[in-house]
Homo-oligomer: A and B are copies of this chain.
Amino acid sequence: MTFRVMGIDPGLTRCGLAVVDIEPNRRSTLVAVGVVGTDAGQGLDQRLLVIAEAVDSWLDLHEPQALAVERVFSGTNISTVMGTAQATGAVIVSAARRGIPVALHTPTEVKAAVTGNGQADKVAVTKMVTKILRLDTPPRPADAADALALAITHAWRRGVGTQAAAATASITGGLVTPAQRLWAEAEARARRR
């Protein structure tokens, strides 16, 4: 019943990669975390290939049931944003080729899901990811914390965000099934820790 999600914080220079197992009660366990970096001195095609091949090998090794990728809308540096979008396209295709469903989540959605505050800073996100995954020390490298948070966010949002759950919630005005209540309680506990 464990749901395995891979999270990717895309970027041409550094791409955070993470795999997390999430149980129905939302208990989340770190499977793998890392960063793939590319050299700005290489051509764009070689950089994107390095990223795609790293993602290929992670997908084949860990066989996640879903891929969650950070949705980037804008940024101060248009060149960085375009590179991030190109890397996003490359990694999405790697998952789609394997029939693995892909979801995009905004940074605000991720912060809200793991800390309860959509405006949380990186320190707060890293702290909550460390707690949620029951790690002794914050995940290293730091870039990878975002990828872990993405994977957790996707599983948690998917759990309470199904159409059936949404329909029930809109009819009753809240969470009603025992499973939904358990999830909400587990989430509340995780936030308090």
**Residues of A at under 8 Å CB distance from B?**
43-46, 48-49, 52, 72-74, 78, 81-82, 85-90, 92-93, 95-97, 101-102, 104
What are the residues of chain B within 8 A of A89 when measuring CB–CB? 48, 85-90
Given A82-B72, A85-B85, A97-B52: A43 and B102 within 8 A (CB)?
A: yes
CA distance A48 to B93 in the complex (A): 6
B contact residues around A45 at 8 Å (CB): 92-93, 95-96, 101-102
Question: Least Cβ distance of A59 to chain B in Å?
Answer: 13
CA distance A95 to B45 in the complex (A): 8
A93 and B44 contact, Cβ closer than 8 Å, known pairs A82-B73, A86-B86? no
Question: Least Cβ distance of A11 to chain B in Å?
Answer: 12
Tell me the minimal C-beta distance from A73 to chain B in angstroms: 7
B104 touching A44 by the CB < 8 A rule?
Answer: yes
29 contacts between A and B (CB under 8 A): A43-B102, A44-B92, A44-B104, A45-B92, A45-B95, A45-B102, A46-B96, A48-B89, A48-B92, A48-B93, A49-B93, A49-B96, A49-B97, A52-B93, A52-B96, A72-B82, A73-B78, A74-B78, A81-B85, A82-B85, A85-B85, A85-B86, A85-B88, A85-B89, A86-B86, A86-B89, A87-B89, A88-B89, A89-B89
